[in-house]
C-alpha cells in the first residue's frame, strides 16, 4: 500500500480532506502559524552572495552618495524616519529580498512604513537626488554597518535584513523575538 498524506482539520468543518503535501503545509501555516517562512531559495542565495557582496556594497555606498552630501542632515532624516512608525523598512523596488520581506510582513499582518531608496542599488536606478537613496544608504551603513536592503527597524532599533543583520528578520522570527519586539513597539 502507498502512504499519502491526508489532512482533515477538526477545527474547520467546511474543509474537505487535503491530500497534496504542498496544500497541507500551506493550509497549516495560514491557519495556525504566527508567520509563514519566506522563499528558501532566496535564503540560500543570500547566504552565498551576502558575504561576498557586503564589501562591495560598503565600498560603493559612499561613492554613490558623493562627497558633497550632508551626512549629519541625512542621519537626522533617517532617525526621524525610524521613529515615525513602530516598524520601518527601507527597500529597493526591484529587489527580490525586499519584496519577500514585504510579503512576509503582509502575511504576518505586521503594519509597517516602507521607505523606498529607488529601484535598485545600481547607478541610475538608486535615487540620487539630494537626501535620496544613495545618501541614506551610505549613512545607514555608517550607523549600522549594513548597506544592503531591505533594512528593518523595530521601535527605532536596527533588526537588519530579511536573513541577516542584527540579527535579521527571519532569525529573529525563528528565535521568537521579532513579534514580541513588534508588539512592544506598537504598545
Nine cell digits for residue 87: 516598524
pLDDT for 162 = 93
Q: Could you give the C-alpha distances from 115 to 47, 61, 135, 136, in angstroms and in order?
A: 25, 17, 13, 10
Tell me the pLDDT band of 131, cut-offs 50, 70 and 90. low
User: In the block, which residue shows the cell 555606498?
Assistant: 61
The pLDDT assigned to 1 comes to 44
Host H or E run for residue 59: helix 40-65
pLDDT at 126: 60
Domain ranges of the chain: 1-33, 40-186
Q: What is the pLDDT of residues 11-62, one digit of tens each?
A: 777 777 777 777 777 777 777 766 667 777 888 888 888 888 888 888 888 8
Residue 180 has pLDDT above 70, yes or no: yes
**pTM score, whole prediction:** 0.77
pLDDT band of 2, cuts 50, 70, 90: low
pLDDT of residue 80 exceeding 60, the answer is yes
What's the CATH number of domain 40-186, 3.30.70.2700, 3.40.30.10, 3.40.50.300, 3.40.50.2000?
A: 3.40.30.10
Residue 125 confidence (pLDDT): 59
C-alpha count within 13 angstroms, C-beta hemisphere, residue 133 = 24
Nearest to 152, CA basis, from 34, 28, 31, 38: 38
Select the more confidently predicted residue: 153 or 34.
153
Amino acid at each position: 500500500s502507498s502512504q499519502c498524506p491526508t489532512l482533515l482539520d477538526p477545527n474547520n468543518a467546511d474543509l474537505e480532506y487535503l491530500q497534496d503535501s504542498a496544500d497541507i503545509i500551506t493550509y497549516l501555516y495560514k491557519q495556525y502559524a504566527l508567520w509563514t517562512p519566506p522563499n528558501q531559495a532566496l535564503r540560500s542565495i543570500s547566504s552565498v552572495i551576502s558575504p561576498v557582496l557586503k564589501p562591495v556594497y560598503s565600498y560603493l555606498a559612499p561613492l554613490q552618495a558623493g562627497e558633497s552630501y550632508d551626512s549629519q542632515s541625512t542621519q537626522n532624516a533617517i532617525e526621524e524616519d525610524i521613529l515615525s512608525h513602530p516598524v520601518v523598512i527601507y527597500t529597493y523596488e526591484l529587489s527580490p529580498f525586499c519584496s519577500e520581506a514585504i510579503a512576509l510582513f503582509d502575511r504576518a499582518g505586521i503594519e509597517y512604513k516602507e521607505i523606498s531608496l529607488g529601484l535598485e542599488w545600481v547607478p541610475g536606478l538608486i535615487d540620487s537626488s539630494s537626501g535620496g537613496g544613495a545618501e541614506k544608504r551610505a549613512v545607514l551603513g555608517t550607523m549600522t554597518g549594513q548597506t544592503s536592503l531591505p533594512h528593518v527597524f523595530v521601535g527605532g532599533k536596527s533588526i537588519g535584513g530579511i536573513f541577516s543583520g542584527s540579527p535579521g528578520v527571519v532569525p529573529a522570527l525563528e528565535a521568537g523575538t521579532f513579534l514580541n519586539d513588534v508588539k512592544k513597539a506598537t504598545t
